[in-house]
Amino acid sequence: MSEQPAALSTRYSLQARILGAVFVLVLAMYLATLAVLGLPLRDRAQQHLNIGAERELSAMMAAVQDHVLLRDYPAIEQAIRARAFDASILSARFVSPKIAFETRTPPDPQRYPAWFAAILDVRAPHAQSELVVGGTSYGTLAIALDAAPSVQGVWVMAVRFTLLAIGSLIGVMLLLRWHLQVNLRGLYALRTAARTLESGDLSARVSLAYSSPPEVRETKLAFNHMADHVSRLVAALEREHDELLVEKERLRVTIESIGDAVVVTDAAGMIEFLNPKAEELTGFSSGDAQGRRVSEVLPLIDEQNGAPVAGPLELALQRNEVVGLDSHTMIRRQDGATLAISDTAAPIRSADGKVQGGVLVFQDESERRSLMQRLAWQAERDHLTGLLNRRAMESKLAAALHSVQHEARQFIFCYIDLDRFKLVNDTCGHRAGDALLQRLSAIMAQRVEGRNHYLARLGGDEFGLLFVDTALPEALDHIQGLRDEISRFRFEWDDKVFRLGVSLGVTELHGAMTDIGEILAQADTACYHAKSVGGSAIQVYEKTHPALQKINDEMQWVGAITKAFEAHRFALYRQQKVALSPAITTLHYEILLRLRGEDGTIISPGEFLPAAERYGLAPSFDRWVVRNFFAYLDTHPEDEANYAINLSGRSLSDPGTAEFILDEIGQYHFDPERISFEVTETAAIDSLDACERLILALQSRGIQFALDDFGKGQSSFGYLKRLPVAYLKIDGDFVRGMNHDREKLAIVKAMHTLGHELGKQTIAEQVETEEELACLKGMGVDFVQGYLLHRPAPLPVD
Amino acid sequence: MRKIWACLALVLGTACHAAPQTPFAFGVLNHRSLQATAAYWNPILNYVSARSGVPLELHIGRTANETTDRVVAGQLDFAYTNHLFTPKRDRLGWRVLARQDSEGIRGQVVVLDSSPVRTLQELAGKTVAFANPYGFTGYYVPMDDLLRAGIEVAPLFCGNQEAAMGQLLSGEAAAAGVNHQVMASFAQRRQMKYRVLAESEPYFDLAVMASPRVSPADGEKVRQAFVGMSREPEGQRVLRLAAQSLELTKARGFVAADDRDYRNYRSFFSQTRVPVNE
């Protein structure tokens, strides 16, 4: 029902509506005017007729009065007839005592419709009057007037009014139509432009050339702006559409090319698409899988127990969130084979957040999981021997310590240190050393095979063996057997035969132990003692053993050193290295570390450094020295001397040392070329590769190295080629007494000559007599250092 | 036989008495318009008819001459006129019954007060307005004065006296021959000043006269009714009403008169140098 009015309301144009409304309005006004003016007009016509009748009567009376007074009756009749004929008088009658006559004239022919006269309802007026002069009545004159002329007059007026109204209406309509056409021209142009735009011509615009009303002109402008905007939007949409197509193609190629398998489902979890990788992994083609549930195509099982696993996609669709799969999940392919996978399922949402479908991405995890297993294995294994590494052993020890502390269990830890292993390395090289370690590891592993014991390589030629749930005697039996077997072992390499010993330190874990450091320290202490007595010995840690007590004392230094650090009781000293060549004017110093005892006495490094080095504190010293000395250089720009800093063997093997030093240098502004580091020959050789990398890394910033205690090692010369040091610091043992010991003199001379031959400068240390100095000068040594020339002194700190 | 005639006479007399009596035609020499004449005379005639029992009906001619013609033609029974004293009309046998109670009228030759004309002689050859060629004081008397003075003028007849006075006022005529009463009344009404060049002896105004066919009894009744008007309140009221219709300041009654009172008329007409139109 409501559509019909709506259709009617849209059927007629705006022009037709306005014209229609104006037509109805004007017509209504015409009718109203006709009603308002017509009724009084009718009354006026009637009144006019009545007055006319009176006037005619008066006129006729005037015309006949003289005749009446003269009693000229023919003249009276003639005058009445003449008057009645001339005027619109239907009848005129004169009655006197002597005469009575009446004259009638035919009414005017009606030129108006009868209905109009009926509507107008105008009555023919009558009038009569008695002629009395001087009290004497001469007679009565009566007339009836013809209403037709008045009706005709009103009819003519009505016709003229109607014609005028119609003319006005037509004029108004034509004028309005013209006006509308002119003013709606802009609107029609808008319609044309809108249709053109609708048909796809986005360049369609409305011309603003001809004048329009402000509203239409503003609408045109708004339309043109809208069209511009739409054009830009469409252009942007087309551009984005093209980009989307490219993107879609790229995504399609990507999805088909990527190594990940992709499954796309609808919101109900029914598969819509599999990419090639998914087809490969599931064994289903995309077409076959389409419309199936994910669980049919991708049946998931637990890797460990083979139980079915709930699919993540169903969960993702239910929860409307991304869901990852348990890492121990596999799929059972169509051919029955299983495949480890990892996958992620995510819902595909529309802009309003409604779930439109889901996507499941999964990868073949077989290789990665295998690799992870290998990495996990390698993480706790020593790569050379395949045994547990130090970290794994520490983990086992921690677990064992925890067990001891909470359960009545017994654990024995044995520290194994090969004797004379370095001889193999030095004489046959690292390959031989590595081969030796592998053989010995195999022997040791074989002895613990099948037992609940853990064997680990702790580093270098050191091993650890943890006996689980084993009493000390039983463990010692095993250890002795191990020692004996190693003692019997013969290692052959390049026609060389080596017999090795082994030192073993044993300790039993007990609940009073605080950490694994204590376990390691006790075993190490025992092993140290075993080695110190000649090797191939087994020493069980006893707290009251004198020798172990001494070693234990060293360990006390660890605590003392820690306290000293906290109390800032370490101090930097320096000792000058005097250049013997007058060409060298720059002062050279070696930075030395001193510990200030709690009583203020200065303690030389000979007392605390061995313990520090043995218990791994040396790198901390090194870093403390570097940090504080660099700060000194930065705050004392007036000090332009060159300085050498000692680096321990541990720092050399620490891969973070180079980065630490460079970072520290980066914080200050002094010239790094004023800095050199001294490393002992033995430390350098023990960590030859790391030392070489460190020297090369720091040389890039102009920092030089000196090989300290040169000559003390057993194969110094052989390593000189690999160590790009700038200085050789001849060990003081050779310098002291060289003036009267020809052998020392010859060695010093040989080392100095060798150094110079290799382009390195030489430094003789511990020069304490003038004779020694004279020898060195005579030899041409570059720098000399010793109490004779300069005693260590604190850095001139403010 | 006498009884039969007596009965017949009674019957006829009763029949005649029962039938409405035909009124006598009373003609009035109209010096004024028909309306004014009718307005003046109808109340008087109604009164006289009622008082005398002699029904009178006013008859007016378009002009005074036409009224006189009607008299001559025997169409009237009574007349208020002074045209019947010419020798020829005198022989018609009309008798005087009464006249208006006035001192008499005079004929005058008048000019406007502003006119340079001072004497009748100065009017020689000029236009002089008159009422009509039948008026006594309005034509015969002043014209007779002019002719006796030996002055030839161009007469201009204007229909009645006031019309002639109008011509004088407008300058169309150098002088006018008028009734002195009418002239005085006109001048008073129009604020007009005029100068009298010649004036006649007085003549009684128009007389109420009866045709010879009017019986002496009816004549006497009519005379008594006219004469008695000024003595009765109703008659006085009618006279005032009639005078008011003419805007006259004084209502004049009627007095009894006879032919002797109008001898000077007859004498004038027997001696006048003016050709009499009869």
| Pairwise CA distance, residues A711 & A716, whole Å | 6
Say yes or no: B130 and B87 in one domain: no
pLDDT tens profile A664-685:
999 988 899 999 999 988 778 7
**Which of these three, B199, B216, B239, is where a domain ends?**
B199
Q: Does A214 touch chain B (CB under 8 A)?
A: no
Nearest CA in chain A to B57: A136
Confidence of residue A210 (pLDDT cuts 50, 70, 90): low
The proportion of chain B whose per-residue pLDDT surpasses 70, expressed as a percent, equals 93
CB contact B24 to A (< 8 Å)? no
Over range A413-420, report the average pLDDT: 89
Minimum mean pLDDT among A234-238, A679-683, B164-168: which range?
A679-683
Q: How far is CA A159 from CA A31, A121, B157, in A?
A: 13, 17, 57
Tokens at A254, concatenated: 């990507």
Domain boundary residue, one of B199, B229, B261? B199
Contact across the interface for B60 and A70, Cβ inside 8 Å:
yes
Higher pLDDT: A38 or A512? It is A512
Residue B13 lies in a domain: no
Q: Which of A179, A226, A229 is nearest to A206 (CA)?
A: A226
Determine the distance in angstroms separating the CA of A129 from the nearest CA of chain B, rounded to an integer. 17
pLDDT in tens, A517-567: 889 888 988 888 888 777 788 999 887 777 777 777 776 777 778 788 888
- Asked if residue B1 has pLDDT above 70, the reply is no
Q: Is residue B178, in this structure, part of any structural domain at all? A: yes
Mean pLDDT, all residues of chain A: 85
B226 shares its domain with B95:
yes
Output the six-digit token pair for A178: 């013209």
pLDDT above 60 (res B11): no
Going from N- to C-terminal start, the domains of chain A cover 10-171, 258-371, 385-542, 569-794
Task: For domain A569-794, give the CATH number.
Answer: 3.20.20.450
Instruction: Kindly state whether A70 is in contact with chain B, defined as any CB-CB distance less than 8 angstroms.
Output: yes
Q: Is the Cβ pair A134, B43 closer than 8 Å?
A: yes
Is the distance from CB of A772 to CB of A753 less than 8 angstroms? no
Closest CA of chain A from B17, distance in Å = 19
Percent of chain A with pLDDT over 90: 20
The first and second tokens of residue B114, run together, are 């502003």
Contact B39 A133 (CB under 8 A): yes
Q: What is the pLDDT of residue A532?
A: 77
Max alpha carbon distance in chain B (Å)? 82
Query: Do B193 and B120 share a structural domain?
Result: yes
Q: Which residue of B has its CA nearest to A71?
A: B59
Using pLDDT thresholds of 50, 70 and 90, give the confidence band for residue A327: low
Which residue among A65, A71, A135 places its CB closest to the CB of B46? A135
Domain residue limits at B241: 23-102+204-271
pLDDT at residue A80 in the model = 87
Q: Give a yes or no: residue B11 inside a domain.
A: no
> Do B146 and B162 belong together in one domain?
yes
Cα of A640 vs its chain's centroid, Å = 50
Q: Which residues contact B177 (CB under 8 A, 6 or more apart)?
A: B107, B108, B109, B128, B129, B130, B131, B137, B138, B139, B141, B142, B143, B146, B164
Residue B276 within a domain? no
Instruction: Say whether pLDDT at B204 is over 60.
Output: yes
Q: How far is the C-alpha of A790 from the C-alpha of A360, rounded, in Å?
A: 77
B chain contacts of residue A69, beta-carbon cutoff 8 Å? 34-35, 37-38, 58, 60
Please determine, for residue B7, whether its predicted confidence score (pLDDT) is greater than 60: no
Assembly ipTM? 0.77
pLDDT tier at A205 (50, 70, 90 boundaries)? Answer: confident
DSSP lists the bridge partners of residue A538 as A504
User: Are the Cβ atoms of B41 and A135 closer than 8 angstroms?
Assistant: no
Test A136 with B35 for CB contact under 8 angstroms.
no
Chain B residues within an 8 Å CB radius of A66: 34-35, 62
Instruction: Tell whether B89 and B151 lie within a shared domain.
Output: no
**Least confident interval from A467-476, A760-769, B57-66, B103-112:** B57-66
A:112-141 residues touching chain B, CB 8 A cutoff: 133-136
- How far, in Å, are A127, A383, A467, A527 from residue A520 at the CA level? 158, 22, 14, 10
Distance from CA of A169 to the nearest CA of B (A): 59
Residue B32: which H helix or E strand, with range? none
**Residue of chain B whose alpha carbon sits nearest to that of A133:** B39
Q: How large is the average pLDDT for residues A584-588? A: 91
Mean pLDDT of A778-793: 92
Reported as a single tens digit per residue, the pLDDT across A492-507 is 888 888 888 899 999 9
Non-local (6+) Cβ contacts of A287 within 8 A are none
Task: Give the closest of B35, B37, B43 to A135, CB-based.
Answer: B43
Within this chain, do residues B124 and B46 fall inside the same structural domain, yes or no?
no
Task: Look up residue A61 and give its two tokens.
Answer: 């009376």
The mean per-residue pLDDT over the stretch A129-156 comes to 87
Residue B235 in domain: yes
Which candidate, A144, A16, A169, places its Cα nearest to that of A80? A144
Assess whether pLDDT exceeds 70 at residue A9.
no
CA–CA min distance B269, chain A (Å)? 29
Please tell me which residue, A34 or A705, carries the higher pLDDT value: A705
Residue A704, pLDDT > 80, answer yes
Query: How many whole angstroms separate alpha carbon A364 and alpha carbon A345?
Result: 15
- pLDDT score for A769: 92
Chain B residues 230-269 with a CB less than 8 Å from chain A = 242, 245
Name the 3-class secondary structure at B246: coil
A326: pLDDT strictly greater than 80: no
A156 touches A102 (CB < 8 A): no
Q: Are residues B28 and B148 in the same domain?
A: no
Least confident of A100-109, A358-367, A374-383, A552-561: A552-561
Please tell me the predicted confidence (pLDDT) of residue A312: 82
One domain for residues B173 and B215: no
Total domains in chain B come to 2
Residue of A nearest to B246 (CA): A134
Residues B171 and B38 in one domain: no
Residue B16 has pLDDT above 70, yes or no: no
Nearest CB partner across the interface for A69, out of B34, B40, B245:
B34
Q: Are residues B76 and B115 in the same domain?
A: no
The whole-angstrom separation of Cα A77 and Cα A62 is 13
Cα–Cα distance measured from residue A500 to residue A424, given in angstroms and rounded to the nearest whole number: 9
Residue A306 confidence (pLDDT) above 60: yes
Mean pLDDT of B158-183: 91
Across the range A655-664, mean pLDDT stands at: 90
Q: Which fold has domain A258-371?
A: Beta-Lactamase (3.30.450)
**pLDDT(A701) > 80:** yes
Q: Enter the tokens of residue B82.
A: 């002074």
* Topology alike, domains A258-371 and A385-542: no
Q: How much is the pLDDT for B18?
A: 43
* Inter-chain residue contact A134 with B242, CB threshold 8 Å: yes
Helix axis angle, A73-86 relative to A14-70, nearest 10°? Answer: 170
Residue in A65, A70, A136 closest to B42 by CB: A136
Which residue is associated with the tokens 């005079």? B106
Residue B27 sits at the chain A interface (C-beta within 8 Å): no
The amino acid present at A601, given as its one-letter code, is: T
More confident call, B202 vs B2: B202
Any CB–CB contact under 8 A between A353 and chain B? no
Among A128-137, A415-424, A681-690, B196-205, the range with the most confident prediction by mean pLDDT is: B196-205
Q: How far is B109 from chain A (nearest CA, A)?
A: 31
Please give the single-letter amino acid code of residue A708. Answer: D
CATH at residue B261: 3.40.190.10
Higher pLDDT, A265 or A604: A265
What is the tens place of the pLDDT at every residue in B223-248?
999 999 999 999 999 999 888 888 88
Fold (topology level) of A385-542: Alpha-Beta Plaits (3.30.70)
Shared domain for B193 and B160, answered yes or no, is: yes
Cβ-defined contact of A70 to B61 (cutoff 8 Å): yes
- Is B3 part of a structural domain of the chain? no
Q: Which of A66, A135, A136 sits opposite B34 (nearest CB)?
A: A66
The stretch B198-213 carries a mean pLDDT of: 93
Residues of B in contact with A70 (CB under 8 A): 34, 60-62
Mean pLDDT is lowest, of A746-755, B107-116, B122-131, for A746-755
pLDDT value at position A182?
Answer: 81
pLDDT(B2) > 60: no
Q: Do B164 and B214 fall within a single domain?
A: no
Per-residue confidence (pLDDT) for residue B10, from 0 to 100: 39
Identify the band that residue B5 occupies on the pLDDT scale cut at 50, 70 and 90: very low
State the average pLDDT over residues A295-315.
Answer: 82
Residue A626 vs residues A96, A564, A663: alpha-carbon distances, Å: 166, 17, 11
pLDDT higher than 90, residue A212:
no
